Amino acid sequence: MTSRPATAEPETTVLGHPRGLATLFGTEMWERFSFYGMRAILAFFLIASPAANGLGLPQQTAYAVVGVYGSLIYLVALPGGWLADRVLGARRAVLAGGIVIMAGHISMAVPVRTPAFVWLGLLLIIVGTGLVKPNLSSMVGRLYPRDDNARRDAGFSIFYFGVNIGAFAAPYVVGDWLARDGRWHLGFGAAAVGMALGLIQYVRGWRNLDGAGMEPGHRLTAAERARFTRLAGVGCAGTAVVAALWAVSGTFTLDRLTVVLTVVAIAIPTGYFGYILRGDHDLTEFERSRVRAYIWLFVAAAIFWMIYDLAPSVLNVFARDRTDLSLFGMRMEAATTQAINPLFVLILCPVFAVLWVRLGDRVSASQKFALGLVLCGLSFVVMALAAHLAAGGRVSLWWLVLVYLVQVFGELSLSPVGLSVTTHLAPKSFQSQMLGVWFLSFAVGDAVGGQTARLLGYMSEPMYFLTLALIAVAAGLVLLMFARRLTHLMRDD
């Protein structure tokens, strides 16, 4: 992230923020529309029988697939950030990623019986999102001077507002209108249209971004590019050989694949933090200090997402099977409950944007993260009570409304702040890659969360929700105890 030179022309702003924020806001809104539209129906599509145009997977397997899919979406953000930093530049990486995402949704929209187009579509969406997510957010951070922390926090909160406009509209358009009665492929097609609109808006607003993300932060030399090509080729070939051997051994199952990918999701950020801290990379001592502090925030975020991102799987199916889906006399589809959370974000996001500016540096990032974790844990205390009452019959939809409301308070305390603190703490040579590292916390949380759903085969629903709640609250309290120490490690040079 670079600061605006002192001799530059006065900055053109909209509501006190750079004009480029509006361009990135709109692009993210449509990209998230495509993502959340598909996500709202994915678990139901995987569970539905072939007679209902679904894949007919067992419920626990479907939960694990949704979790691993969400994990891989964010896992590939790390190489996506690296490609932007070293080869493409953030701006071109977002454009290429959006095109690949659109192709993935089109593949899933093909109305054929074979699941091959589904798995191909998911793979393309994963690859494309890895290029879009870290680099779009990185460009938001680069619109602001390095020392303008409060305005950057507010800018990310506004950016987050765009995320949730798309996330709110998508379940209605996809889940309630298009995909009901087994019309899954129409829903997937709507996601493709949403991504296309995002790409059009992005290209039209290109000029508003000034120089943000135009060039790689550290372009590869010819020798480095040749070495990377060799390593990538060897890695892809090795992966293909291992996958082929596993397939012919007769031991391959979808369940085992999800477990392996969960282990990979945990191993990659662990190894990458070691790579950053143990290598040279021209890092100063205060940059290393910031990375060490950031590891604490990363673990906290992973625990948060482990619980929060059970919404499209465990909570979505709970809505379908255990909840009275009537609200104000109107009945909705279970997938439409996925719009409750972003609706609250839309209402409360501006409030939090103003709040963080007013509080300034009086509340540290560590304290905000701790609050988010505790609130997320408390939401599952509510969920445990709802599950207990559901043993006697369907419960009111207001229970889920309350769960999502508490989670949103936690989300707005942690997620936009996490984006902001990542761009602020990122070493100069790892700017886009650190946004990729931030999204690895989602990858770890989603993968582990998908596997925790297997516990439902060994414990009651109330105990399952309560166990996860206690983990989150305990982690939040530990983080709060060390908040002052972490603030010292994150000091400015």
Which structure tokens are listed for 452?
């925790």
Side-chain-side CA neighbours of 311 within 13 Å: the count stands at 26
Share of the chain above pLDDT 70, in %: 89
Contact (Cβ atoms closer than 8 angstroms) between residue 316 and residue 44 = yes
Note the pLDDT of residue 7: 40
**Residue 4: pLDDT over 60:** no
Note the pLDDT of residue 147: 61
Note the pLDDT of residue 410: 93
Quick: pLDDT tens for 428-461: 767 666 777 887 899 999 999 999 989 988 899 9
Q: State the chain's mean pLDDT as an integer.
A: 84
**Residue 1: pLDDT over 60:** no
**Residue 82: pLDDT over 90:** no
pTM here is 0.82
Give the type of residue at 323.
T
Note the pLDDT of residue 136: 82
Quick: pLDDT tens for 368-408: 889 999 999 999 999 999 999 998 889 999 999 999 999 99
Mean pLDDT of 240-249: 87
Mean pLDDT of 87-97: 85
Terminal-residue alpha carbon distance, the chain: 16
Which structure tokens are listed for 11?
């900055």
SS3 of 157, please?
helix
Task: List the single range of 291-295, 304-308, 373-377 with lowest mean pLDDT.
Answer: 291-295
**Residue 215: pLDDT over 70:** no
Mean pLDDT of 203-220: 70
**What is the number of other CB atoms lying within 10 angstroms of the CB of residue 180?**
16
Side-chain-side CA neighbours of 181 within 13 Å: the count stands at 2
Quick: pLDDT tens for 164-201: 788 888 888 887 778 877 788 888 888 888 889 888 88
Task: List the single range of 149-153, 412-416, 425-429 with lowest mean pLDDT.
Answer: 149-153
Note the pLDDT of residue 8: 45
User: What does the DSSP 8-state code read for residue 333?
Assistant: -
Quick: pLDDT tens for 329-355: 778 888 889 999 889 988 887 787 778
